[in-house]
Amino acid sequence: MARLSGRSRALVRLFSLQASWTYERMQGVGVGFAVEPLLRPLGGADDPRFREALGRAAGFFNANPFLAPAAVGAEARAEFDGVPGPQVERLRTALCGPLGSLGDRLFWTGLVPALASATVAAVALGAGPWPVLAFVVVHNVIRIGLAAWLLDLGWRHGLRVGGAISASVLPRASTFAGLAAAAVGAFALPPAADWLMGDETPREVLGVLVLIATLLVVRRIAGHRASAAALTLALAVGVLLWHWSTA
């Protein structure tokens, strides 16, 4: 079996995946930058095989950035195994959707909301600022450990990495993470509301509820034209203005 070299450099470079984002190639430039240390044993900068492999690696790619290491490892292994270029490109294309969907469910609708809700609940219950630090540490420990594991998984399985991911713990973990996010969020809401609005008058609470209801109606009518981020920002500004006007 070919030895995985340049692993540490590839892992460090994966942290710049989103920083290299472009409209034309999405995360492709970042993937090419991350996979380059893994491809060096193929030959020097003037070696045709190395240059062709690196050019393919920098092509279009778009998936969840936390699961992208699996694609980086699999692509590097496929190049080492001498897989034809078109087949390597099909592998990249085939991995975009599954890694994007699975990663979004695992992180954006699972782990991150669960950790954030736990942090809010802990702060509201009087734990001070330490839960915020714990959030940062736990999130990054999981992210770094998962990146190293996925890079090795991709390298071991190459073209068969899709089946390896399906058979791994990740699909079940994404389901559990979603349930945990809902449960922890439900637990965090009462203490957070009491902490933030415990001294508010019924009139002030009613005003905030009216703001929330109004923005939900706007979201319903406008659809995708009104993004969740914009509405959240508008709600935050509205709540601040309401508190300022009633102070």
The tens digit of pLDDT for each residue in 184-228 reads 888 887 787 777 766 666 766 676 677 777 777 777 777 666 665
pLDDT band at 105 (very low <50, low <70, confident <90, very high): very high
Among 71-75, 145-149, 158-162, 190-194, name the one with the lowest average pLDDT: 190-194
Percent of the chain with pLDDT over 90: 53
pLDDT band at 27 (very low <50, low <70, confident <90, very high): very high
CA 31 to chain centre: 15
CA dihedral over 220, 222, 225, 231, signed as positive or negative: negative
Determine the Cα–Cα distance for residues 140 and 146; give it in Å rounded to an integer.
10
Give the residue extent of every domain in the chain. Answer: 7-199, 200-247
pLDDT score at 244: 67
pLDDT band at 1 (very low <50, low <70, confident <90, very high): very low
Distances (CA, A) of 50 to 29, 64, 90, 161: 16, 26, 19, 22
pLDDT band at 232 (very low <50, low <70, confident <90, very high): low
pLDDT score at 109: 87
Q: Which of 14-28, 155-169, 231-245 has the highest mean pLDDT?
A: 155-169
Determine the Cα–Cα distance for residues 174 and 95; give it in Å rounded to an integer.
17
pTM (two decimals): 0.79
What tokens appear for 62 in the block?
A: 């778009």
pLDDT score at 191: 82
Contact 234, 226 (CB under 8 A): no
What element of type H or E holds 149? Answer: helix 130-157
